[in-house]
Structure 1
Amino acid sequence: MSLDVKLKVHDPGGAAGVNIDLIRLAAQALRSGRGGYLPEAASLLKSPPGTPV
């Protein structure tokens, strides 16, 4: 499988580290057989699920 990802944001320098951390969390969850919402990712998200926008 090959995946190409392109990110366009207004603050690419500041967002890059957060996105890499989110990808690492997702990869770790997949390796351990977990899926869906990851509570440990909430601190990295601007509007985690369940929060008022």
Structure 2
Amino acid sequence: MSYQNYVIAAYAVFAIVLAWDFVSSRLQIRRELRAARQRAARQAGQAGARKPTGELSR
């Protein structure tokens, strides 16, 4: 009895899961960076709108 097909299937599943883990983490990092940039832009816009023009900030 040969286990070659089972071994090939196990390696294929391992490779697919490893690739999915890599891709999904990259997508999550990209999504979090985009959210952080948008949050920083919103905060910068709000800070600029709240700041009086004739006063120094503390």
TM superposition score category, shorter chain reference: 0.3 to 0.5
Max Rg structure:
2
Of structures 1 and 2, the one scoring higher in RCO (CA 8 A, sep 6+) is 1
Considering fraction of residues, name the structure with more helix: 2
TM-score, length of structure 2 as denominator length: 0.38
TM-score, length of structure 1 as denominator length: 0.41
